[in-house]
Structure 1
Amino acid sequence: METTLFIDKHYNLVVECKQGSKKACYELYKLYAKAMLNVAFRIVGNVGEAEDVLQEAFLDAFKRIHDFRQETTFGLWLKQIVVSRSINLLRKRKMELVELGEDVDNIIDEEEDDDEEVQYKVSTVKKAMEELPDGYKQVISLYLIEGYDHEEIGQILGITENTSRTQFLRAKRKLSEILLRRGIVQ
């Protein structure tokens, strides 16, 4: 199998960081901290814990920077570390995913034309997602917000691809119920 090296726009910073440059490490931190904090927060749902995950992920990344082989972008590599650390934190909370049945209703997504209305609805949906059980929240966040497919989610969470799909569909249904209760959707 041929290995393709990705040269991303921050390649030089990564090289300098590998050579021990604290300034380059700090620059990488400044470039990625906000985005990675958002990733962690969407998974763990708590700012303080997300900040802890962020710090641990960067420490881990800088400790293992020599293992980074440019087979992907630094940002994607770091994001995988953040997601992994976030999932480990949830596991420490003794969060359990349960295999669910296959009978799932499909939910029809509405399209909106007005950007302001869409932003309001996105904010409302994100708030409603916080009410979901951890297992649902994890899967729906990884799928909708982080862009992972069900196979990847299964690997990240240690569940089957089928369980990820089922959790996602149940999460959408539960989210729809929450939004209906709030009068957001009809």
Structure 2
Amino acid sequence: MKSPDIKEKDLISKCIDGDGNAQRQLYQQYVKAMYNTAIRIVANRADAEDVIQESFVQVFRNLHSFHGDASLGSWIKRITINSAISHIRKHRKFRLVDVDDNFDWPEPEEEAVYAPVDMESVHHAIKQLPDGGREILSLYLLEGYQHKEIAQILNITESTSKTQYRRAKGQLQQLLEPKLS
């Protein structure tokens, strides 16, 4: 169990007491990292900004409940991820479809050697994925969640998470194919 250092505890205490300078400092310290987390999930600048705004409102509203079980950054990131998922659920324009686990999925090609792809191209390609696949791919690959956790978060089955992930991964490979050759 990691407890916050003295400086961080002081900042948290001042934020809880409503000190605007402390709140601004905490916001500036974490906003860029949280924006990067949000944009990977919602894939649209305006939505990511909405998610960040909602996240920090929740952070300041609930800072009194932060006990240092994890780092402050991890705690804020968890709030940001939950806000992004809630935002997508509210504005969901897709339906996750459960596919039978017995479906015969083609095996990926053997270890192919590809030319390096710049991260900007990868992020651009991820943004082009359908919402459901992008959300699951981001949670699995970028945020490190397991399919069982994703299923619980999104209220879907684990097999649906795996299926949507495979589809999104295949679509991502197709989108990046011209840059890989």
TM-score scaled to structure 1, two decimals? Answer: 0.82
Gapped regions of structure 1 (runs ≥ 5): none
State the alpha-carbon separation in 1 of the partners of residues 113 and 81 from structure 2: 29
CA deviation vs aligned residue, 1:54-104 (integer Å, no higher than 9, x gap): 011101110111111211111111111111111111112233222123333
In structure 2, give the amino acid aligned to 1:34: K
* Partner of residue 18, structure 2: 20
Q: Is the 8 A contact 2:4 2:72 kept in 1?
A: no
Equivalent residue pairs, number: 176
CA contact (8 A) 1:139 1:167 kept: yes
Check conservation: 1:5, 1:69, Cα contact below 8 A: no
Equivalent pair of 2:44/2:127 in contact (CA under 8 Å): no
Q: Distance in 2 between matches of 1:111 and 1:78?
A: 38
Of 94-103 and 83-92, more deviation after overlay is shown by 94-103
Equivalent residue for 1:128?
A: 125
Q: In the TM superposition, what are the counterparts of 1:109-120 in structure 2 within 5 Å?
A: 118=116, 120=117
Q: Larger RCO: Structure 1 or Structure 2 (Cα < 8 Å, ≥ 6 residues apart)?
A: 2
Deviation at 1:12, TM superposition (A): 3.1
The Cα of 1:35 is off from its aligned counterpart by 0.9
**Distance 1:146-1:15 versus aligned 2 partners, 3 A rule:** same
Q: Secondary structure at the match of 1:99?
A: coil
Q: Which runs of 5+ in 2 are unaligned?
A: none
What is the aligned partner in structure 2 of residue 144 from structure 1?
141
Q: Deviations over 1:163-185 (max 9, x none)?
A: 222221221112112223xx223
Q: Which residue of 2 aligns with 1:98?
A: 97
Corresponding residue for 1:65? Answer: 63
The amino acid that maps onto 1:122 is M
CA deviation map 1:101-122 (0-9, x unaligned): 333344466677xxxx74x432
Q: TM-score, normalised by structure 2?
A: 0.84
Of the structure 1 ranges 5-14 and 36-45, higher mean CA displacement relative to structure 2 is found in 5-14
Amino acid across the alignment from 2:135: Q
Measured against aligned partners, the alpha-carbon deviations of 1:118-139 in whole angstroms (never above 9, x if no partner) come to 4x43222221122211111001
1:6/1:71 contact within 8 Å kept: yes
| Letter paired with 2:46 | G
What is the SS of the residue equivalent to 1:79? helix
